[in-house]
Amino acid sequence: MADEKEAALARLQVLRGELDYHAHRYYVLDQPVIADVEYDRLFRELLELEERFPELVSEDSPSQRVGGAPLEKFATVQHRHAMLSLENAFGEAELRDFEERLLRFLKDTPQLSYVAEPKMDGLAIELVYEQGVLVQGSTRGDGRTGEDITRNLKTIAAVPLRLRGENPPALLEVRGEVFMGSAGFRKLNEERAAAGEPLFANPRNAAAGSVRQLDSRLTARRPLDFYAYGSSDPAQLACATQQELLARLSSLGFKVNPLVRFCPGLAEVIAHYRHLLEIRAGLDYEIDGMVVKVNSLALQERLGNKARTPRWAIACKFPASQATTTLLGVDFQVGRTGAVTPVAILAPVAVGGVTVSRATLHNEEEIKRKDLRIGDRVLVQRAGDVIPEIVQPIVALRTGQEKPVTMPGHCPSCGHGLVHEEGEVALRCVNAHCPAQRLRSLIHFTGKSGMDIEGLGRKVMEQLFTEKLVADIPDIYALQPETLAALDGWAAKSAENAVAAIAASRNVSLARLLSALGIRHVGEVTAALLEERFQTMERLMTASLEELLTVEGIGAQVAASIRDYFDDPAVQQMLARLRQLGVAPGKRLAPQGELPLRGAVLLFTGTLAGFSRDEAKELVKKLGGQVSSSLSRKVTHLVCGDKPGSKLQKAEELGITILDEKGFQQLIS
């Protein structure tokens, strides 16, 4: 036991040193070098060791304080009541443990009700009002002493300078969160990138950095917002419950998060946690969990506080959307149009409940702008259905052994020289016979956005390409059941089903075939325009550049791309072979009767409950509408299913009509 205690003490000393260092960078400098999830893991280990060996708890342990020391550049403020931190829970099981602890403590209380609210990822502040007038605003600081940032907080429009209504309390201390919305954060970082300034890692750091400026004019230019969540002394407002307290704050002129919910029991708390987790990616601000508070203020008083946290509240964290890991290398992938995209190879790390080992780097310009180097510790993020990306390197952790990323001069697949085409950022392989491009084209052709041939997904096409059974699109239509049945992982029935699905795809609309062929700049909307104008493949193949330019919605770049495609002898041979194999596209029959979606262009994002994505798209087309594959000003409606991702915020910025699934059903009815 003595050896175990000695080992625990040694580990505690290490943990306290690491947590002190990271707390200083997070709370004081606003320059963290690890993600929140890693800090939480270290802190939880500290708490577990101190719980096992309570005699080893020291007064200077991070478990005994709340945040970081105030910055010397600001005057300090002594909080009348300590601004405590919150204990963390991770998942529904720990919420149940929380309630069990409460009931054991209270003994005579059989049932508890709660208030659950989104846990904003911002900066906790306190606002002091005397006779209804704002006289002081401060940060939480170390929980007892904060920074006086009154002038800066007065620049935030959501912070009332004077309370509404008659007879305000003589003294009121309101607590809440200053935060920065996602759209404002993106715009701020874009402006900083253009000015050559370092980017903020996340909205929390941006908000904290913005309110801790010596020049309040700079704070005023930042897109900051504020939600109130409580008072240091609820007796100042003569309320009996947390629910009443929030309603009273709202009546005094404070913004209260509309997603706050009263929960009569733990089942409703868990249901709201699941709901917030589902909608998290679609919110226009960052949340990293849900705060649960006992609703009765009398019970809050009875439960009291521990050293650094109240017993009556807990923060249930979501799976982390950011994490830190190591950039091990960069792979270069060749797409179906020849664009060479750098992809980061990462030491595997859990982000948003998924293990991430690769992340997009987009292009050479982004690598240079972020100053990424192989060997860097990097901050990685993943939100909703967004592809993982590297936010920034953690420059403070560089050792000098990191190496710059070198872009290739030749195609990693075929060895052909790469070029920068005019007006493009991407490097491109212009070899039409590049194996990587051919494979990507085949995968696109049979996939959901192409011919949607059941049984010929990505892995199957990679197998057929590797086995040299399919080298070009027409080879798909020459496949025989016995050939497929002889391959690993295939049986006679699956081979017959695949060949039947291939046969069924021979008679498709011209628009679908054009979209599947992967012509540069020709997506679903452009393909539909071409079908409407030219009606047959033969007529389109012979259309002049001038004729193409007469089609509304087709510009010079798209027209030139179409003409170049059909002028290629290899393409002409491929299309002739498709005709020989019975692929006979025709014009879709024009919808009859009223066309309620004529002139509308819809874009879908997220998962729909009542339709598959393809069913929804076909329905739109039958009703005279068009379906877009990307967000632009031409889109008239964005239809949002579950976990809509970043397109929602962009659509709001563009003023596009946004529909949920119920709204979409009303539109098509």
Q: Are 410 and 417 in contact (CB under 8 A)?
A: yes
Q: Are strands 427-429 and 403-404 parallel, antiparallel or unpaired?
A: unpaired
Candidate CATH numbers 1.10.150.20, 3.40.120.10, 3.40.50.2000, 1.10.10.10; the one for domain 435-580: 1.10.150.20
Three state DSSP letters for 554-600 = CCHHHHHHHHHHHHCHHHHHHHHHHHHCCCCCECCCCCCCCCCCCCC
**Which residue, among 386, 382, 238, has the nearest Cα to 322 in the 3D structure?**
382
How many Å apart are CA 311 and CA 112, to the nearest integer?
14
CATH topology of domain 322-420: OB fold (Dihydrolipoamide Acetyltransferase, E2P) (2.40.50)
Q: Following DSSP, what letter does each residue of 470-515 receive, concatenated?
A: -SSHHHHTT--HHHHHTSTT--HHHHHHHHHHHHHTTS-BHHHHHH
Angle at 310 between CA 304 and CA 316, to 5 degrees: 145
Q: Which residues pair with residue 358 across a beta bridge? A: 345
SS3 403: strand
Q: Left (φ > 0), alpha (ψ -120 to 50) or beta: where does 302 sit? A: alpha
- What single-letter amino acid sits at 569? P
662 is catalytic: no
Backbone angles phi, psi at 325, to 5 degrees: -155, -170
Q: Which one is catalytic: 5, 119, 187, 621?
A: 119
Q: Which residue has the tokens 């982000």?
A: 351
pLDDT attached to residue 589? 47
Q: Following DSSP, what letter does each residue of 199-254 receive, concatenated?
A: PPSSHHHHHHHHHT-S-HHHHHTS-EEEEEEEES-GGGGT-SBHHHHHHHHHHTT-
CATH numeric code, 2-64: 1.10.287.610
201/68: higher pLDDT: 201
pLDDT attached to residue 382? 73
Q: Of the spans 86-90, 203-207, 360-364, 399-403, which averages the highest pLDDT?
A: 399-403
Q: Are 378 and 372 in contact (CB under 8 A)?
A: yes
**pLDDT (mean) for 150-166:** 88
SS3 10: helix
pLDDT attached to residue 643? 66
Q: Are 10 and 56 in contact (CB under 8 A)?
A: no
pLDDT attached to residue 80? 92
Q: Are 309 and 315 in contact (CB under 8 A)?
A: no
The confidence band for 426, taking pLDDT boundaries of 50, 70 and 90, is confident
Q: Is the pLDDT of residue 193 over 60?
A: yes
Question: How many CA atoms, within 13 angstroms, populate the side-chain half-sphere of residue 430?
Answer: 8
How many Å apart are CA 428 and CA 412, to the nearest integer?
11
CATH numeric code, 76-317: 3.30.470.30
Q: Which residues pair with residue 127 across a beta bridge? A: 137, 174
pTM of the model: 0.56
Three state DSSP letters for 27-81 = HHCCCCCCCHHHHHHHHHHHHHHHHHCHHHCCCCCHHHCCCCCCCCCCCEEECCC
Side-by-side strand order, sheet with 601-605: 626-627, 601-605, 637-640, 657-659
294/600: higher pLDDT: 294
pLDDT attached to residue 517? 93
Query: And the tokens for 253?
Result: 């002129």
The confidence band for 257, taking pLDDT boundaries of 50, 70 and 90, is very high
**Which residue, among 210, 208, 69, has the nearest Cα to 146 in the 3D structure?**
69
67/54: higher pLDDT: 54
CATH 3.40.50.10190 domain position(s) in the chain: 601-668
CATH 3.30.470.30 domain position(s) in the chain: 76-317
Mention every residue, 6+ apart, whose C-beta is less than 8 A from residue 255.
Answer: 158, 225, 226, 227, 228
Q: Is the pLDDT of residue 551 over 60?
A: yes
Query: And the tokens for 392?
Result: 């920034």
> Which of 245-259, 454-468, 532-546, 589-603 has the lowest average pLDDT?
589-603
CATH 1.10.150.20 domain position(s) in the chain: 435-580
How many Å apart are CA 209 and CA 221, to the nearest integer?
13
CATH 1.10.287.610 domain position(s) in the chain: 2-64
SS3 310: strand
The confidence band for 38, taking pLDDT boundaries of 50, 70 and 90, is confident
Count of residues making up the chain: 669
Candidate CATH numbers 3.40.640.10, 3.40.50.10190, 3.40.50.360, 3.40.50.300; the one for domain 601-668: 3.40.50.10190
How many Å apart are CA 270 and CA 149, to the nearest integer?
37
Q: Is the pLDDT of residue 645 over 70?
A: no
How many Å apart are CA 353 and CA 492, to the nearest integer?
38
Residue percentage of the chain with pLDDT more than 90? 44
Digit-coded pLDDT (tens) for 107-140: 888 889 999 999 998 899 999 999 999 999 999 9
Which letter does DSSP use for residue 642 in this model? B
Digit-coded pLDDT (tens) for 65-89: 555 555 567 889 999 998 988 998 9
**pLDDT (mean) for 628-648:** 79
